[in-house]
C-alpha cells in the first residue's frame, strides 16, 4: 500500500524515465518491437466483424486526477491523456523527436522562427477538422497565466503563435530554443479544439489521439475506445480499460487470474512474486535517484566538502544492497541521445583517502554533521534503506548524517523551499537535457534554489545548447554540462531505476518506454 | 407517544449528537490544515515550484484557499447544512454523488462482515463457555486469538493471493459490480473481504459471548429454571443466550460503527470503492471538502448506529425499558 497517489519529486514525471540504455534492455523488447503489428491495415482487419473484440485491461494503483492535459502532472493522468490527445511532435521508442500532428517543420536561419506544417487528414474525436487555429488557441491558452499550465515554461521563449495558413503555424521566438521540438512532444502541450470550453473538456476530452474516452467512473475505471479515424490508422485494440486496483499485490493477483493484461511496477520484490506465463520487461527510466546538496549554504558551499562526499559514496553499493539492484548507475543526463558516462567523474570508484584529503582541505579534518531529508512513506519503497546505506558509508570519513524521514507532503514542502542540507530525491528526467536541467542549473531557473548551485560556465553552456540546433554539436555542449556538474560535485547522481512491465499471454506489440509512456498501446494487440 | 420524562433524554441525546458532529467537523478541519502542503502541492508535486506567482494565485482562488480559515470553515459548514457537501475537482463529481456510490458498498460490506462475525463468534463463544478449560474452550480461544492477532492486511493479501494463484479465483480483479447491476458477481466480490473482516471481528464477539454466558450461567434464575426442569437445549437458548446478548449487542454495535468508517485496508486490498477509499484518496489529494464532508457522513452513521444499539437494548432487556 505504499503506492504514491501523487507525483512528488518525480512530480510531473509524466514524460520522465529512461532510455533503452545499451545492455540494460532485455532482448525480448526488441523481439517484441519486430513483431509489433504497426496498426494500420492489421488493425482494421482485427476489427472485422468476425474477429473477437480486443479489450485490453491495464491494472493501475491510482486513478487519473485531471483530464485536462495542460495541467495534468500525475504520471498516470499523463500517460492516459497521451492516448487521447495529440501533440505537434512525438517521441519514438528511443525518445527521438518524430512528426506528430505536424508532418514537418522548418527553423529559420536565425533560429527565431519555426514553421510547422500540419497534417491535413486529422480530425478531433467529435469529427471536426484540426486546423492551425486549434494550435494557436491551444498554445495561447497554455501561455495564459490563468490556465496555470505547467507547460507554460516550455513555451517561455515563444513570443507569438500565428496561423499562417489553414494548416501552417508559425512560432516567433524571443531567443533560439533548440529544445523546442522536444518540448512540443510532451503531453502537456497537447492540442485541443480552438472552441473548447475548459470546464466541459475537463470532463469530456476531445482530442486527436488513437483512443477516445468512453467512460470514467472515479476510483474504479477509465475506458478508452479506439478512434477509427486516427490519422496513423485505427488501433488493433477495440478498447483499453485502466482499472483501478489500489493495492499492488492485488494487481499481481489480478494478473495471475487473467483479469488484467498489462501493469507497470517499480518494486522488484513484488515483481518476483508474479511468475506464471506473465512476461516481465525491465526498462531503465529517465528519472534518477540522486543525493542533492544545498550548495548555497555552509558547509556544502565548499566544493571540497561536496567532493569528499562524492568520493566516498559507492553508487553501486547503494543500488545493489539498498535498492535491490533495481536500476542502473547513471551520470547526470539520462536522456538517451545525450547520455552521460557514469564513470566520467572525479572518483569513478570510491577513494576514501582522497575524500579525507578534501575534507581536511575544507577544514573539517575532525569530521562534521549533516542532516538529510528523505521521503519516509515508501516512495520509492527503498528510499529510507538507501539513505541509511549512504549514512553508513559517510560515517567512514567522519561525516555523521542525521536522517529525517518525512511524510511526502512535508518532504515536498521542505524540498521546494530548499530547506535541507542533503536530500535524497527521485527526480523526473526528460528526453532533452535542456528541459531536464535548465530549470535547475541556469541561475534564474525556477528550481535553481533547490538545485543549490549555479555558475557562469553553466549559464553559458545552457545558452549555447539552446542556440545550437545541430545534434552532434548539442551533444558536445551537454557533455560539458555533465562534466561540470560532476567535477564540481554539484550533486551525487546514483542510479536510474527500472520500471517493470508485466504483460499477460496474448499481448503483443507493446513496447515499454523509458519515459513511462504507454504510447505504444496503439500498436498493441490482444489474442486470447 | 412521548411523555415528558421520555422526551427529556431524547432531546438530550439529539443535542449531544449534534454537538459530537460539530466537534468532529472542527477537529477534521483543523487536522487537515495542520498537514503540510495543500491541494496545489498535492496535485503538482514538486512541479508546483515551476508555477509562477500569478499561476499560483489563480489556483488558490480556484480552490478557495485564498480565504481566511474561519471563512473557509463556515462557508463549508453552511453549504453542508443546506445539503451541498462540496465538489471534487478530481472526480468532477459532487461529494453527495460520490457518497451515494460509495456508501452502499461500505454498508453492504459491513453488514456481511457482521453476519460472518456473529455466525462464527456466537456459536464459538457458547461452545467455549460450555466447558471451561476443556479442549473446545482452548480451540475457541485459539481461534479468537488468531482473529485478533493476524492483521487484516496480511490475511487479506494472503487470501487474495492464494485464491488467485492456486485456483485462478479473483472476482476482485474484475471491475466492481454493484449489487443491483450484477448481484452474483457482486456477492463473489464481497465474499473474501467479508470473510476476512468477519474473522477479525468474530474474535471480540466470541470472547464477549463466552464471558457473558459464563456469567449468566452462574446467576440464580438459571438455577431456578434448571430446578423447574427446563430442558437443557431450551435453557441454553432462551435463558442463557438471550440474557447474555446485551454485551454482545453492544460489542457488535461498536464494531459496526467502526466498519462504517470504512474498512480502509480491506477496501484497498480487494479494490472495493467504499467510503474508506473515498477518504484515503481525497486525503492524498488534500481535497479538503471531500475529506471533511465524508468524515461528517461517517460520524453521522456512527451516531445513528449507537442510537440503534440503545434502542435494541430495550427490546432485549426489559430492565432498560423500565429505567
From residue B58, alpha-carbon distances to A145, A178, A325, B187 in Å are: 8, 31, 44, 46
Domain count, chain B: 2
Nearest CB neighbour to B174, from listed A8, A10, A259: A259
In chain A, residues 282-301 whose CB comes closer than 8 Å to chain B: none
Q: Are residues A441 and A321 in the same domain?
A: yes
- What's the pLDDT at B169? 87
Domain of A506: which CATH number?
Answer: 3.40.190.10
Helix extents (H) in A218-290 = 248-256, 268-272
Q: Are residues B221 and B314 in the same domain?
A: yes
Question: How does pLDDT run along chain A (528 residues), one tens digit per residue?
Answer: 333 333 333 333 333 333 333 333 333 333 333 333 333 334 344 444 457 889 999 999 888 888 999 988 888 999 999 999 999 999 998 899 999 999 999 999 888 999 999 999 999 999 999 999 999 999 999 999 888 888 888 898 999 999 999 999 999 999 999 899 999 999 999 999 999 998 899 889 999 999 999 999 888 899 999 999 999 999 999 999 999 998 888 999 999 988 999 999 988 888 888 888 899 999 999 999 999 999 999 999 999 999 999 999 999 999 999 999 999 999 999 998 899 999 999 999 999 999 999 999 999 999 899 999 999 877 788 899 999 999 999 999 999 999 999 987 788 888 888 999 999 999 988 999 999 999 899 998 888 999 999 999 999 999 999 988 888 999 999 999 999 999 999 999 999 999 999 999 999 999 999 999 999 999 999 987
Query: Apex CA A347: angle with CA A343 and CA A348, to 5°?
Result: 25
Q: Are residues A183 and A123 in the same domain?
A: yes
pLDDT level of residue B4 (50, 70, 90 thresholds):
low
* Residue B19 included in any domain: yes
Q: Are residues B107 and B188 in the same domain?
A: yes
Closest chain B residue to the Cα of A7, Cα to Cα: B45
Q: Helix, strand or coil for residue A70?
A: coil
CB B116 within 8 A of CB B199: yes
Q: Are residues B151 and B278 in the same domain?
A: yes
From residue B82, alpha-carbon distances to A489, B15, B76, B85, B91 in Å are: 60, 19, 10, 9, 22
Q: Give me A341's grid cell.
A: 558516462
Q: Are residues B163 and B279 in the same domain?
A: yes
Q: Are residues B218 and B312 in the same domain?
A: yes
Q: Are residues A153 and A240 in the same domain?
A: no
* Residue A244 included in any domain: yes
Interface contact B153-A1, CB threshold 8 A: yes
Beta bridge partners of A288: A427
Q: How many CB pairs under 8 A join A and B?
A: 166
Domain of B146: which CATH number?
Answer: 1.10.3720.10
* Residue B94 included in any domain: no
Task: Show residues of chain B in contact with A6, CB under 8 Å.
Answer: 42-43, 45, 284-285
Closest Cα in chain B, distance from residue A170 (Å)? 26
* Residue B258 included in any domain: yes
CA–CA distance, A25 with A519 (Å, rounded to integer)? 18
Q: Are residues B227 and B314 in the same domain?
A: yes
Domain count, chain A: 3
Q: Are residues B173 and B246 in the same domain?
A: yes
- Domain around B12: 2-81
* Residue A517: CA count within 13 A, CB half-sphere: 29
Helix extents (H) in A111-230 = 132-143, 180-183, 198-201
Q: Are residues B55 and B111 in the same domain?
A: no
Q: Are residues A332 and A457 in the same domain?
A: yes
CB A75 within 8 A of CB A14: yes
Q: Are residues B120 and B49 in the same domain?
A: no
Query: Apex CA B108: angle with CA B106 and CA B112, to 5°?
Result: 115
User: What is the ipTM for the molecules in this complex?
Assistant: 0.78
- Domain around A131: 89-200
Task: Show residues of chain B in contact with A5, CB under 8 Å.
Answer: 281, 284-285
Helix extents (H) in A179-285 = 180-183, 198-201, 248-256, 268-272
Interface contact A150-B47, CB threshold 8 A: yes
- What's the pLDDT at A525? 95
* Residue B88 included in any domain: no
* Residue B149 included in any domain: yes
* Residue A478 included in any domain: yes
- Mutual angle of helices B183-217 and B95-130, in 10-degree steps: 40
Q: Is the peptide bond before A380 cis (omega within 30 degrees of 0)?
A: yes
Q: Give me A131's grid cell.
A: 486546423
Q: In the 3-class helix/strand/coil scheme, how is chain B assigned residue by residue?
A: CCCHHHHHHHHHHHHHHHHHHHHHHHHHHHHHHHCCCCHHHHHHHHHHHHCCHHHHHHHHHHCCCCCCHHHHHHHHHHHHHCCCCCEECCCCEEHHHHHHHHHHHHHHHHHHHHHHHHHHHHHHHHHHHHCCCCHHHHHHHHHHHHHHHCCHHHHHHHHHHHHHHHHCCCHHHCCCCCCCCCHHHHHHHHHHHHHHHHHHHHHHHHHHHHHHHHHHHCCHHHHHHHHCCCCHHHHHHHHHHHHHHHHHHHHHHHHHHHHHCCCHHHHHHCCCCCHHHHHHHHHHCCCHHHHHHHHHHHHHHHHHHHHHHHHHHHHHCHHHHHC
Closest chain B residue to the Cα of A202, Cα to Cα: B92
Domain of A175: which CATH number?
Answer: 3.90.76.10
Strand A158-165, strand A399-406: pairing: unpaired
Residue B262: left if φ>0, alpha if ψ -120 to 50, beta else—which one? left
CA–CA distance, B321 with B323 (Å, rounded to integer)? 5
Closest Cα in chain B, distance from residue A203 (Å)? 7
Nearest CB neighbour to A220, from listed B42, B43, B176: B176
Q: Are residues A406 and A389 in the same domain?
A: yes
Q: Are residues A426 and A307 in the same domain?
A: yes
Q: Are residues A71 and A134 in the same domain?
A: no
Q: Are residues B165 and B280 in the same domain?
A: yes
Q: Is A416 on the interface with B (CB under 8 A)?
A: yes
In chain B, residues 247-286 whose CB comes closer than 8 Å to chain A: 265, 268-271, 273, 277-278, 281, 284-286
Q: Are residues B171 and B40 in the same domain?
A: no
Q: Are residues A126 and A222 in the same domain?
A: no
pLDDT, one tens digit per residue, over A163-189 is 999 999 999 999 999 899 999 999 999
- Kindly state the average pLDDT of the residues B62-70: 82
In chain B, residues 98-137 whose CB comes closer than 8 Å to chain A: 98
* Residue B296 included in any domain: yes
- What's the pLDDT at A7? 33
In chain B, residues 196-255 whose CB comes closer than 8 Å to chain A: none
Residue where one domain finishes, among candidates A200, A232, A255: A200
How many other CB atoms are there within 10 angstroms of residue A291's CB atom?
A: 23
Q: Are residues A242 and A336 in the same domain?
A: no
* Residue B91 included in any domain: no
Interface contact B37-A244, CB threshold 8 A: no
* Residue A429 included in any domain: yes
Q: Are residues A442 and A301 in the same domain?
A: yes
Q: Are residues B277 and B214 in the same domain?
A: yes
The residues, ordered by sequence, that sit 6+ positions from A507 with a Cβ below 8 Å of its Cβ are A56, A261, A262, A279, A524, A525, A526
Q: Are residues A478 and A388 in the same domain?
A: yes
Nearest CB neighbour to B175, from listed A221, A253, A427: A221
Closest chain B residue to the Cα of A445, Cα to Cα: B50
pLDDT, one tens digit per residue, over B73-101 is 888 888 888 888 888 877 788 899 999 99
Query: Apex CA A269: angle with CA A268 and CA A270, to 5°?
Result: 90
Q: Are residues A265 and A409 in the same domain?
A: no
Domain of A436: which CATH number?
Answer: 3.10.105.10
Interface contact B45-A5, CB threshold 8 A: no
Nearest CB neighbour to A257, from listed B36, B37, B173: B173
Amino acid at each position: 500500500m505504499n503506492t504514491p497517489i501523487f507525483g512528488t519529486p518525480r512530480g510531473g514525471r509524466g514524460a520522465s524515465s529512461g532510455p533503452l540504455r545499451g545492455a540494460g534492455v532485455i532482448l525480448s523488447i526488441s523481439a517484441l518491437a519486430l513483431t509489433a503489428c504497426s496498426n494500420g491495415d492489421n488493425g482494421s482487419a482485427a476489427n472485422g466483424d468476425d474477429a473477437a473484440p480486443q479489450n485490453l485491461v491495464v491494472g493501475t494503483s491510482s486513478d487519473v486526477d485531471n483530464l485536462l492535459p495542460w495541467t495534468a502532472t500525475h504520471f498516470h493522468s499523463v500517460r492516459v491523456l497521451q492516448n487521447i490527445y495529440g501533440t505537434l511532435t512525438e517521441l519514438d521508442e528511443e525518445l527521438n523527436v518524430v512528426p506528430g500532428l505536424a508532418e514537418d517543420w522548418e527553423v529559420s536561419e536565425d533560429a527565431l522562427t519555426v514553421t510547422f506544417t500540419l497534417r491535413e487528414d486529422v480530425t478531433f474525436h467529435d469529427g471536426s477538422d484540426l486546423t492551425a487555429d486549434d494550435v494557436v488557441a491551444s498554445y495561447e491558452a497554455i501561455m495564459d497565466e490563468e490556465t496555470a499550465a505547467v507547460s507554460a515554461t516550455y513555451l517561455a521563449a515563444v513570443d507569438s503563435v500565428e496561423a499562417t495558413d489553414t494548416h501552417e503555424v508559425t512560432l516567433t521566438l524571443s531567443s533560439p530554443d533548440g529544445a523546442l521540438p522536444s518540448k512540443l512532444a510532451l503531453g502537456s502541450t497537447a492540442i485541443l479544439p480552438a472552441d473548447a470550453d475548459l470546464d466541459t473538456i475537463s470532463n469530456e476530452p476531445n482530442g486527436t489521439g488513437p483512443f477516445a474516452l468512453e467512460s470514467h467512473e472515479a476510483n474504479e475505471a477509465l475506458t478508452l475506445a479506439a478512434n477509427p479515424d486516427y490519422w496513423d490508422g485505427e488501433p488493433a485494440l477495440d478498447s483499453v480499460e485502466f482499472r483501478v486496483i489500489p493495492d499492488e499485490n492485488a494487481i499481481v493477483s489480478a494478473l495471475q487470474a487473467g483479469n488484467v493484461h498489462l501493469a507497470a511496477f517499480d518494486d522488484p520484490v513484488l515483481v518476483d512474486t508474479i511468475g506464471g506465463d506473465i512476461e516481465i520487461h525491465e526498462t531503465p527510466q529517465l528519472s534518477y535517484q540522486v543525493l542533492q546538496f544545498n550548495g548555497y549554504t555552509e558547509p556544502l558551499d565548499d566544493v571540497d566538502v561536496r567532493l569528499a562526499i562524492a568520493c566516498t559514496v559507492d553508487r553501486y553499493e547503494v543500488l545493489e544492497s539498498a535498492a535491490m539492484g533495481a536500476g542502473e548507475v547513471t551520470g547526470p543526463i539520462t536522456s538517451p541521445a545525450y547520455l552521460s558516462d557514469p564513470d566520467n567523474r572525479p572518483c569513478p570508484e570510491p577513494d576514501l583517502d582522497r575524500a579525507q584529503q578534501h575534507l581536511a582541505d575544507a577544514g573539517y579534518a575532525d569530521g562534521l554533521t549533516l542532516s538529510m531529508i528523505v521521503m519516509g512513506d515508501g516512495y520509492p519503497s527503498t528510499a529510507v534503506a538507501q539513505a541509511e546505506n549512504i549514512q553508513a558509508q559517510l560515517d567512514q570519513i567522519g561525516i555523521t548524517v542525521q536522517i529525517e524521514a518525512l511524510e511526502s507532503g512535508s518532504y515536498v514542502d521542505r524540498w521546494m523551499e530548499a530547506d535541507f542540507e542533503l536530500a535524497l530525491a527521485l527526480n523526473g528526467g526528460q528526453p532533452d537535457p535542456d528541459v531536464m536541467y535548465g530549470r535547475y542549473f541556469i541561475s534564474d531557473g525556477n528550481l535553481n534554489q533547490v538545485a543549490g548551485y549555479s555558475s557562469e560556465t553553466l549559464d553559458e553552456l545552457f545558452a549555447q545548447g539552446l542556440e545550437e540546433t545541430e545534434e552532434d554539436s548539442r551533444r558536445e555542449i551537454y557533455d560539458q554540462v555533465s562534466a561540470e556538474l560532476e567535477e564540481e560535485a554539484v550533486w551525487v547522481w546514483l542510479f536510474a531505476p527500472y520500471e517493470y512491465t508485466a504483460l499477460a499471454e496474448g499481448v503483443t506489440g507493446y513496447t515499454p518506454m523509458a519515459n513511462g509512456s504507454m504510447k505504444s498501446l496503439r500498436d498493441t494487440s490482444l489474442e486470447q | 407517544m412521548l411523555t415528558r420524562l421520555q422526551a427529556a433524554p431524547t432531546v438530550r441525546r439529539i443535542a449531544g449528537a449534534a454537538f459530537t458532529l460539530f466537534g468532529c467537523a472542527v477537529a477534521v478541519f483543523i487536522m487537515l490544515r495542520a498537514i503540510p502542503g495543500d491541494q496545489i502541492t498535492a496535485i503538482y508535486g514538486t512541479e508546483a515550484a515551476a508555477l509562477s506567482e500569478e499561476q499560483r494565485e489563480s489556483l488558490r482562488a480556484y480552490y478557495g484557499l485564498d480565504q481566511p480559515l474561519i471563512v473557509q470553515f463556515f462557508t463549508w459548514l453552511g453549504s453542508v447544512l443546506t445539503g451541498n457537501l462540496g465538489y471534487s475537482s478530481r472526480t468532477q463529481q459532487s461529494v453527495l454523488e460520490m457518497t451515494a456510490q460509495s456508501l452502499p458498498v461500505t454498508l453492504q460490506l459491513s453488514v456481511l462482515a457482521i453476519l460472518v462475525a456473529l455466525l462464527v463468534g456466537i456459536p464459538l463463544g457458547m461452545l467455549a463457555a460450555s466447558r471451561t478449560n476443556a479442549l473446545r474452550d482452548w480451540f475457541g480461544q485459539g481461534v479468537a486469538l488468531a482473529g485478533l492477532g493476524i492483521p487484516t492486511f496480511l490475511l487479506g493479501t494472503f487470501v487474495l493471493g492464494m485464491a488467485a494463484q492456486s485456483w485462478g479465483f479473483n472476482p476482485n480483479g474484475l471491475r466492481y459490480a454493484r449489487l443491483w447491476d450484477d448481484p452474483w458477481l457482486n456477492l463473489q466480490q464481497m465474499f473474501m473481504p467479508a470473510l476476512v473482516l468477519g474473522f477479525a471481528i468474530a474474535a471480540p464477539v466470541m470472547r464477549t459471548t463466552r464471558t457473558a454466558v459464563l456469567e449468566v450461567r452462574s446467576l440464580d434464575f438459571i438455577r431456578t429454571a434448571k430446578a423447574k426442569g427446563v430442558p437443557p437445549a431450551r435453557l441454553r437458548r432462551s435463558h442463557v443466550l438471550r440474557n447474555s446478548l446485551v454485551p454482545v449487542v453492544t460489542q457488535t454495535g461498536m464494531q459496526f460503527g467502526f466498519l462504517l468508517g470504512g474498512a480502509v485496508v480491506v477496501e484497498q486490498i480487494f479494490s472495493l470503492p467504499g467510503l474508506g477509499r473515498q477518504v484515503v484518496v481525497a486525503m492524498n489529494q488534500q481535497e479538503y471538502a471531500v475529506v471533511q464532508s465524508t468524515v461528517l457522513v461517517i460520524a453521522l452513521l456512527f451516531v445513528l448506529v449507537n442510537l440503534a444499539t440503545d434502542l435494541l437494548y430495550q427490546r432485549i432487556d426489559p430492565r432498560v425499558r423500565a429505567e
